[in-house]
Amino acid sequence: MGLLRELNWRASLPPRLPEQPVFYPVLDEDCAIKIARDWNVQRSGAGFVTRFGVEWDFLSRYPVRQAGGRTILGLWVSAADLEDFNAHIVGEIQGTHEFR
């Protein structure tokens, strides 16, 4: 989140860590809040929610999948595809919630 702030929210999403082979943007903000607040804070001490647009035609290559429960839906984007994904982000990345 700090990197996005430094780059005035116009930058691409940062690369995944080696232990993160998939970027999983969830499709519902309430689910993203739950993950950031209830899971990420416990695991790493902080959780963040962002909102951003992506070109619709590009997104069609990634099927919607379930993870962590029936109501948690998102896209599975391979870490290897993240640079291409970033090239299709439209507008500014918004930081909407921060939990500690």
Tell me what pLDDT residue 21 has: 92
Model pLDDT, residue 28: 93
The reported pLDDT for the residue numbered 50 is 94
Q: CB under 8 Å to 83, separation ≥6 — which residues? A: 12, 15
Q: Is the pTM of this model over 0.85?
A: no
Q: Domain limits of the chain?
A: 2-99
Dist. CA 3–CA 37, nearest whole Å: 20
What the block records as the tokens of 97 is 């919630």
pLDDT at 5: 78
Residue with tokens 């992506």: 54
pLDDT at 11 over 70: no
72-97 pLDDT per residue, tens: 899 999 999 998 999 999 988 999 99
d(CA 89, CA 93) in angstroms, rounded, equals 8
Task: Give the model's pLDDT for residue 8.
Answer: 74
Q: Give tens-digit pLDDT for 24-61.
A: 999 999 999 999 999 999 999 999 999 999 999 999 99
